[in-house]
Structure 1
C-alpha cells in the first residue's frame, strides 16, 4: 500500500479528512475516556485524540489529508518523535472508518538523496515537488515522520 501519497504532508495540493467526523467518532467510541482532543493547528498535519484505557494513555493520530491512523504511547506535546504502538483492540474499532498504519510501516526508514536540484526518494511515494523540498529541509528519518509532522 502506498502511504507517501501526494499531499500527505499537508502541503497543497492535498485532499482532506474531516476533523469533526474524527472527533465525533472518538467521543462516540470512548465518551468520558477521552482526555483531550487536539484539532487542526498551524504547522501540524494531523488530528489527535488522547484517551485513557486500562490505566494507560494512548494518543490516536489521524493524518489530516488521508484517512491514515496510528497509535502512540504517551509523549510530550509538540515533540516530533512518535513512539508508535500496535493496539489491536483500538484498530478493530476504527477499521470501519480509517486505514490503520502499523508501527513497522511508520518506522520504515525514509531513503532519499539530493543531486543538485533533483530530489530522489527511494521509499515508494508519489509526493509532489513542494513536499520533496520539505523532506530536504526538515530531514525526516521515517515514513511516520512524514505522515505525522509539525512542518510549517
Structure 2
C-alpha cells in the first residue's frame, strides 16, 4: 500500500492506494456499509473531484479474491456497481440524498462525494 486516504466531510468512502509494478489502483471502503470496491485512485480533495464525476471501477479478480477471504466485507464487481440504482435495494441510503443527487448506478450511490 502506498497511501491511505481518509475522508473529511466528503467523500463517503475510505481509499487505500495500492501500487503494482505496472499500475496503481485503490481499494475503496464505504463508511456506512461493509462493502469494498476496486477503482482508479482519486484525490479526496472535494474541490478537485466533484467536477470529475463518479469513481471509475476496475476489475482486479486476484485482489478481489484476496479481499473477499476476510468475509467481513462484500467485494462488489464493476458489473454490479454499474447496474442501475434501485433505492429499495439499498434502504440505508437516505431518501432525501437519493431524491436530490439522483444516482444512476449502484456505484454512484455507494461511493460518492455528496455533502
TM-score interval (norm. to shorter): 0.7 to 0.9
The count of aligned residue pairs is: 107
Counterpart check, 1:51 vs 2:18? yes
Gaps of 5+ in 1: 1-33, 112-120
Larger radius of gyration: 1
Partner of 1:125: 90
Shift of residue 74, structure 1, vs aligned partner: 4.3
Runs of 4+ in 1 over 6 A off after TM superposition: none
Separation of aligned partners in 2, 1:125 and 1:65: 12
Could you give the per-residue CA deviations for residues 41-65 of structure 1, whole angstroms, max 9, x where no partner exists? 1122110011111310101101111
Separation of aligned partners in 1, 2:105 and 2:90: 13
Separation of aligned partners in 2, 1:82 and 1:134: 18
* TM-score, reference length from structure 1: 0.62
Gaps of 5+ in 2: none
CA RMSD in angstroms, aligned pairs only: 2.0
Separation of aligned partners in 1, 2:37 and 2:104: 17
Say if 1:80 and 1:149, in contact at 8 Å, map to a contact too: no
Separation of aligned partners in 2, 1:35 and 1:66: 24
